[in-house]
Amino acid sequence: MNIKDDVRSFVIDTFLFGEDDGLNDDSSFLAEGIVDSTGIMQLVSFLQERYRVSIEDEELIPDNLDSIMRVATFIEEKMRALKLESGISA
């Protein structure tokens, strides 16, 4: 399963009670009322645990966390940076 699929499954299971309800990869979690501020913290906890990344307070912005696509891109970048820091080739 890829990051987008993981995030989609988490959001559907956690916030949409198992119903897809037309959730698109670019659906805004906040604007569409899918996830509130408490939900964002649940999402962050899931991401940190699942992908072993650290998400800093300054990274808790809509550009990083407001849709499936934004979350997937953000986590892919975090993981790429971790690989570079540890000397593992991407």
pLDDT per residue as tens digits for the range 8-64: 999 999 999 999 878 999 999 999 999 999 999 999 999 999 999 999 999 999 999
Q: What is the model's pLDDT at position 43? A: 98
Give the closest residue to 73 by CA, choosing from 52, 49, 46, 47: 47
Instruction: Tell me the C-alpha to C-alpha distance, in Å, between residue 27 and each of 65, 80, 82, 90.
Output: 11, 25, 28, 29
Highest CATH level, class, for 3-85: mainly alpha
